[in-house]
Amino acid sequence: MAEDETRLEEGPLHVLRWDQGLFEQITRGFRNTPEWDAQYPRQGPTAADAPQGYITLFEDFFLKGNFRLPVTEFMAHILHYYGFHIFQMSPPSMVRVRHFEFLCRSHEIEHTVEKFRAFHQLIRNMGFYSFGNRGLAKKILLNPPKSFHD
């Protein structure tokens, strides 16, 4: 990845608020297998504080980003190209990646990292990575979510 592609907007990581009932609903409803050993996090950590051998996945990935495990090959290509882990991706960016992939699939267009990069650029903000619109590229998501509240 070229260094000039990434915009940096740093700040502190926020402490996450957890809901055990929602965690259990997600692990049951999205068919997490026992081998994945999904664990409800202790109170107070940030997304960067997952125990060794674990990653943080956000409820918004599943509920609003249409994220499913295992990840699609396209998502794996995006993560590999940009060199960060899925737990470092902001939930709104999950929506952007999945939306791009769904649009390409629905129009029978090959979905590639190169095509994704024509519309989006990488942004680093508060320890997370997200994707913003690239320059004068035509918007494909007219009203992208800025954040997920409640």
pLDDT digit string, tens, across residues 16-37: 566 788 888 888 887 778 888 8
96 burial (CB, 10 Å; 0-12 / 13-18 / 19+) is buried
**Which pLDDT tens digit goes with each residue over 111-136?**
999 999 998 999 988 778 899 888 77
Q: How far apart are CA 140 and CA 88, in angstroms?
A: 23
User: Which of 92, 73, 76, 85 minimizes the C-alpha distance to 130?
Assistant: 92
Would you say 59 and 22 are in contact if contact means Cβ atoms under 8 Å apart?
A: yes
Element (H, E) at 94: helix 91-106
Domain boundaries, the chain: 7-133
Q: Is 138 a residue whose pLDDT tops 50?
A: yes
What pTM does this model have? 0.68
Distance, CA of 65 to CA of 95 (rounded, Å): 4
pLDDT of residue 99: 87
CB-based contacts of 60: which residues, under 8 Å, 6+ apart? 91, 94, 148
Q: How far is CA 94 from the centre of its chain?
A: 3
